[in-house]
């Protein structure tokens, strides 16, 4: 009753900024782009990353990254620190018992009442003091303020675990996307090299025709310029390949070195339909959503803990031991036995302004956590819809580009025949081959984007952080030290 009296007006303290429950109900489906797969289990529920990615070299890179990536290992140490902080707070709300031994020396002034009394009773001028015993104290935590604070730390630890899982999904997705970047660059370099060879052959033909007075120097110069342009373009692709390789090496936690890859990685068929599951599954599959939910739960506990400071607190203290100025009589019982017992009930009266401010701040953090949780759900839903659109549009684009590439291949053959027959000039041949090269390069780029969109939808649905239990280390246990690999 006293606590209720002291907290009269707690609601008024918050004004219009009262906390509320979050709107955690996403739409019932992802719209018309789930290709009829909305009722089935999502990709995230179907496969761990080591099952989702078929390429063994890509899986090996991800495995190595999850062991050596510096960001993940930094986050792991953060988990260990939080665990230790939780263990340290346990002693704040259980009774405390201390043992002590002390030795002292005291001399009081002779012209004081104590000095006159000591002189009359022949007490030594330099008075020793010997003591030992036990002292106990207990903050009873009647309103669970300390317990709620510790519960909040435990919940935040669970949120940190989910944040680390989300970091895993980002690293897995980035490695996979970079891997497909690398394989696509390999294929584009192959296409470019093949076209440079064809263009060199065409240049020789133009030179021969010029020597036979059937063509001009202009044709020769235009073909030479085209060959030089594509040779220069090759260096740009080579540099891009080096950057991607080293980005993968950095994510894996090793120094620059060649990255093993499978040139057929882009040949994987993108499925016609994608089982997205229900949007409500995102609340369980997405680590960032789960982390936001746990942060909200922790904020609620913090608000309860801050509110409890308005109520009285009960403290108990007790001591038991022996004390004497003569060590020979230190354990005489009951003459040297000393004890004390005290209890105090304290209620805030004049310092309530600071308590009110802390309560309002805790409530504001809870309101903030509500919005962050709602934002995480909105972001998760939007990510899935965006990637579904991307997969659908890229599939149609790839089909159209494939037709364009086939048509231009035929056009190149026709232009060669017509050029030899003097039915078209060099310009038609040059432009047709340039268009064919650009279409092939764009087709590879679109195929790469298809594979990356598949990775992104897998990540958006909450996939990428699940591992084979035999490979997953405990969150609280750091991996054993391992020598860093040098450049090969």
Quick one: 327 and 450 in the same domain? no
Say how far apart CA 468 and CA 126 lie, in whole Å: 73
**Residue 159 structure tokens:** 């949120």
CB atoms within 10 A of CB 188: 23
Quick one: 360 and 319 in the same domain? no
Say how far apart CA 115 and CA 129 lie, in whole Å: 16
**Does the residue 63 lie in any domain?**
yes
**Does the residue 229 lie in any domain?**
no
Quick one: 319 and 397 in the same domain? no
Quick one: 275 and 132 in the same domain? no
Task: Please name which of 265, 262, 270, 267 lies closest in space to residue 397, comparing C-alpha atoms.
Answer: 270
Range of the domain at 319: 94-140+314-346
**Does the residue 367 lie in any domain?**
yes
Q: For residue 44, what pLDDT is reported?
A: 57
Say how far apart CA 384 and CA 280 lie, in whole Å: 12
**Does the residue 162 lie in any domain?**
yes
Q: For residue 42, what pLDDT is reported?
A: 67
Residue by residue, DSSP assigns 192-248 as: HHHHHHHHHHHHHHHHHHHHTTSS-HHHHHHHHHHHHHHHHHHHHHHHHHHHHHHHH
Task: Please name which of 251, 209, 156, 162 lies closest in space to residue 416, comparing C-alpha atoms.
Answer: 209
Distances in Å between the alpha carbon of 293 and those of 21, 283, 368?
11, 9, 12
Instruction: Output the domain CATH number for residue 323.
Output: 2.20.200.10
Q: For residue 212, what pLDDT is reported?
A: 75
**Does the residue 413 lie in any domain?**
yes
Quick one: 365 and 422 in the same domain? yes
**Does the residue 123 lie in any domain?**
yes
Residue by residue, DSSP assigns 149-204 as: HHHHHHHHHHHHHHHHHHHHHHHHHHHHHHHHHHHHHHHHHHHHHHHHHHHHHHHH
Q: For residue 41, what pLDDT is reported?
A: 61
Q: Assign residue 393 a region (left: φ > 0; alpha: ψ between -120 and 50; beta: otherwise).
A: alpha
Quick one: 327 and 448 in the same domain? no
Quick one: 446 and 327 in the same domain? no
> Which of 299, 327, 346 marks a domain boundary?
346
Quick one: 129 and 79 in the same domain? no
Say how far apart CA 168 and CA 175 lie, in whole Å: 11
User: Based on the structure, what is the number of domains in the chain?
Assistant: 2
Q: pTM of the prediction? A: 0.82
CB 255 within 8 A of CB 487: yes
Q: For residue 8, what pLDDT is reported?
A: 52
**Does the residue 402 lie in any domain?**
yes
Q: Which residues pair with 340 in a beta bridge?
A: 319
What sign results for the dihedral spanned by CA atoms 203, 208, 211, 216?
negative
CA 13 to chain centre: 36
Quick one: 61 and 149 in the same domain? yes
CB 243 within 8 A of CB 345: no
Q: For residue 20, what pLDDT is reported?
A: 84
Say how far apart CA 218 and CA 453 lie, in whole Å: 45
Task: Please name which of 380, 423, 448, 400 lies closest in space to residue 191, comparing C-alpha atoms.
Answer: 448
Q: What angle do CA 125, 127, 133 make, to 5 degrees?
A: 170
Quick one: 87 and 37 in the same domain? yes
Q: Give the long-range contacts of residues 17-22, CB within 8 A, separation 24 or more.
A: 17/360, 17/363, 17/364, 17/367, 18/363, 18/367, 19/300, 19/303, 19/363, 19/366, 19/367, 19/370, 20/367, 20/370, 21/370, 22/296, 22/370, 22/373, 22/374
Q: Tell me how long the chain is.
A: 488
Under-70 pLDDT residues of the chain: 1-11, 32-46, 91, 470-488
**Does the residue 467 lie in any domain?**
no
Quick one: 333 and 423 in the same domain? no
CB 61 within 8 A of CB 295: no
Give phi and psi for 478, each to the nearest 5. Answer: -70, 150
CA 288 to chain centre: 8
Place of tokens 């039915």: 423
Q: For residue 191, what pLDDT is reported?
A: 94
Task: Please name which of 483, 45, 104, 82 lies closest in space to residue 323, comparing C-alpha atoms.
Answer: 104
Quick one: 130 and 274 in the same domain? no
Q: Which residues does 98 contact at the CB level (< 8 Å), separation at least 6?
A: 134, 135, 136
Instruction: Output the domain CATH number for residue 69.
Output: 1.20.1600.10
**Residue 98 structure tokens:** 């201390």
């Amino acid at each position: 009753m006293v606590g209720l009296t002291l907290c009269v007006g707690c609601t008024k303290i918050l004004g219009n900024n009262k906390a509320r429950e979050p709107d955690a109900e996403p739409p019932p489906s992802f719209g018309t782009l789930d290709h009829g797969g909305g009722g089935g289990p999502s990709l995230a529920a179907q496969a761990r990353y080591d099952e989702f990615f078929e390429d063994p070299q890509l899986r090996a890179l991800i495995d190595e990254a999850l062991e050596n990536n510096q960001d993940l290992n930094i986050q792991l140490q953060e988990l260990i620190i939080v665990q230790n902080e939780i263990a340290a707070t346990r002693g704040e709300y259980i009774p405390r018992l201390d043992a002590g031994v002390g030795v002292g020396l005291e001399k009081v002034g002779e012209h004081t009442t104590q000095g006159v009394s000591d002189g009359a009773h022949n007490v030594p001028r330099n008075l020793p003091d010997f003591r030992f015993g036990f002292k106990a104290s207990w903050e009873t935590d009647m309103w669970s303020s300390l317990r709620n604070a510790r519960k909040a730390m435990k919940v935040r630890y669970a949120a940190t675990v989910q944040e680390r899982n989300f970091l895993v999904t980002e690293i897995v997705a980035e490695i996979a996307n970079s891997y497909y970047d690398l394989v696509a660059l390999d294929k584009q370099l192959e296409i470019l090299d093949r076209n440079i060879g064809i263009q060199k052959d065409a240049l020789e033909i133009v030179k021969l025709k010029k020597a036979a007075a059937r063509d001009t120097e202009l044709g020769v110069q235009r073909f030479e310029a085209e060959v030089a342009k594509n040779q220069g373009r090759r260096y740009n692709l080579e540099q891009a390949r080096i950057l991607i390789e080293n980005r993968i090496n950095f994510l894996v936690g090793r120094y620059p070195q060649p990255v093993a890859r499978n040139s057929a990685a882009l040949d994987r068929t993108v499925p016609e339909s994608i089982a997205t599951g229900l949007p409500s599954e995102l609340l369980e599959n997405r680590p960032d959503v789960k982390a936001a939910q746990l942060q909200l739960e922790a904020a609620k506990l913090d608000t309860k803990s801050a509110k409890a400071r308005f109520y009285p607190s009960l403290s108990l203290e007790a001591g038991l031991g022996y004390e004497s100025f003569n060590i020979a009589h230190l354990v005489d019982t009951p003459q040297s036995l000393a004890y004390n017992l005290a209890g105090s009930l304290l209620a805030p009266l004049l310092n309530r302004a600071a308590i009110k401010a802390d309560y309002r701040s805790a409530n504001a953090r809870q309101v903030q956590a509500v919005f962050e949780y709602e934002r995480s759900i909105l972001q998760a839903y939007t990510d899935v819809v965006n990637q579904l659109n991307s997969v659908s549009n890229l599939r149609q684009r790839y089909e159209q580009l494939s037709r364009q590439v086939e048509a231009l291949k035929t056009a190149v053959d026709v232009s060669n025949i017509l050029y030899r027959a003097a039915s078209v000039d060099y310009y038609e041949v040059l432009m047709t081959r340039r268009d064919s090269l650009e279409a092939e390069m764009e087709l590879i780029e679109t195929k790469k984007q298809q594979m990356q969109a598949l990775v992104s939808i897998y990540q958006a649905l909450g996939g990428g952080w699940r591992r084979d239990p035999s490979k997953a280390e405990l969150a609280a246990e750091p991996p054993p030290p391992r020598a860093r690999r040098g450049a090969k």
